[in-house]
Amino acid sequence: MQADNGGLLKAQFAATRYLPVTETWHTKVMSKEKNENGNLLQLRDEFDEPIYRYHCEIDEPRLSNTEFWKKRGVLTSFSDLQEDFYIKISSRYGAERRTGTFYRMV
């Protein structure tokens, strides 16, 4: 009996479309200086803008929500996807949004 690697690969590919996997990302460049709480401060350039280091690891992608959404553009956000999902589901099943304050029970 032979393993169905094609089916497994298709399932893995489909799953990665919805995971925030990215081959590129940015990390903060930290200085050796610390603030009053003892935390490292981020380095800044001559215009007082924060400095970031760019990473590109095609062979070793990582999960990164920030970079994932940046690649999809500013106009596409998670809240937009939620709103689109609600519109499609509510029209199909007659769902309504609840109004008022929600309290989480602990």
Domain residue ranges in the chain: 22-62, 65-96
Rounded to whole angstroms, the Cα distance separating 23 from 64 reads 9
Tell me, what's the pLDDT at 77? 66
- pLDDT, tens digit (0-9, with 9 covering 90-100), for 43-100: 999 999 999 999 888 788 777 777 777 776 655 666 777 777 788 878 788 777 777 6
Distances (CA, A) of 81 to 49, 52, 93, 101: 31, 29, 18, 23
Rounded to whole angstroms, the Cα distance separating 21 from 12 reads 12
- Exposure pattern of 15-41 as b/e (b: 16+ CB <10 Å)? eeeeebebeebeeeeeeeeeeeeeeee
pTM score, two decimals? Answer: 0.46
